[in-house]
Structure 1
Amino acid sequence: MSIDVADTDRGYVLCVGLPLEACSEVARLMGNQAVVVAAADTDGARALLGGDRVEWSHAGVAAAPPDPPPRKPSRVGALQRGPLRVDLGTREVTIAGRRVHLSTREFDLLVALASEMDRVWSFAELTVHVWHTGYLGDPDTVTSAVKRLRKRLAAVGGLEVASVRGIGYRLLVPS
């Protein structure tokens, strides 16, 4: 499917990467002045608008999400938080000397949570930091990964990934 601007005498507002609630609010505010179209990402927007024939302009874009940060080169060293030790070079995790086997995403999630112990990580921050994509308003991906990480950590004990209702998660490590 693609959009043909000649199909309507109204203009278009293209919401790229915004949660559906935000797109609905834009549509409500625009009323009958424009057609509001939602796309999950720039590739979807390009497909809707006819691919490479479209000239892209950022003028007038009010609510575009920030681009995710570039992937950082692998770090060497380790994070030590109480009984938790995360070796960033070998990607190994131990709790009180017991090895914990984690998937790539589980490891990256744990590194994010352990990197700043005194803060709550929002769903959006974890999505950008761990998955290196923009947050589209659906916390299910983060929630599922946290559920798997909690299961792995529970097998060893000593750590807790605590929920902060409606905000995100934080890592609790005993002293």
Structure 2
Amino acid sequence: MTPAPADRIRLAELLDGVAPLLLVADLDELRRLIAAPPRLPPGPEAPAPAAPPQASAAADNTLLIDSTRSTAACRGREVGLTRLEHDLLACLTTEPIRVWSYAELHRSVWQDEGLHRKGDVQSLVKRLRRKLHELGTGVSIDAVRGVGFRLTEHQQPRVSGS
């Protein structure tokens, strides 16, 4: 179901300043945007390509989920994930910042409604939080009281030398 334009505008207003937001009409539009790099006119005004060290620094802080090996990696570290941990992390990363209800997480991870079984989700989140912390990621799973959980990225404090 595609959200109505008014719903997308309301979402953009709610997330303003909280997270980057890209609104697309459908999945095909998103694929076109991702696949096609912007075309720049030839000439001396064209900017130089990005320097490789910056790209590798960004990649070092990226949380990578390997579904084939059922692992998560970040900053050169890797942890193994159980099937449930993998499925929960994969679910949360599909729409970061979205609050996932306990029922939605149960449907996605256990393929059932999980009514009155919040403890299953809470226990799994606790184990996954520990593994994300071991990796040293800025990613965490935040509880939204009475609703469920969301995946957020917290900025790591930077130490400057002077």
Partner residue of 1:112? 91
Partner residue of 1:148? 127
Q: SS of 2:104's equivalent?
A: helix
- Aligned 1:1-175 pairs, distance under 5 A: 83-158=62-137, 159-174=139-154
In structure 2, distance between residues paired with 1:97 and 1:173: 18
The amino acid across from 2:72 in the alignment is V
In structure 1, distance between residues paired with 2:109 and 2:80: 18
- Percent identity, aligned pairs only, is 39
Greater fraction of residues in helix: 2
1:123 offset after TM fit, Å? Answer: 0.3
In structure 2, distance between residues paired with 1:156 and 1:118: 20
TM-score by length of structure 1 reads 0.50
Post-superposition Cα deviations, 1:49-99, rounded to whole Å, max 9, x if no partner, equal xxxxxxxxxxxxxxxxxxxxxxxxxxxxxxx9x611112333331122311
Q: Which has the higher contact order (CA 8 A, sep 6+)?
A: 1
TM-score by length of structure 2 reads 0.53
* Count of aligned residue pairs for this structure pair: 95
1:135 offset after TM fit, Å? Answer: 2.4
Structure 1 regions of 5+ residues with no counterpart?
1-79
Post-superposition Cα deviations, 1:120-157, rounded to whole Å, max 9, x if no partner, equal 11100000000011221221100010011111111122
Structure with the greater alpha carbon radius of gyration: 1
In structure 2, distance between residues paired with 1:107 and 1:152: 11
In structure 1, distance between residues paired with 2:125 and 2:69: 22
In structure 2, distance between residues paired with 1:87 and 1:100: 10
The amino acid across from 2:131 in the alignment is R
Greater fraction of residues in strand: 1
Structure 2 regions of 5+ residues with no counterpart?
1-58, 156-162
Q: SS of 2:73's equivalent?
A: strand
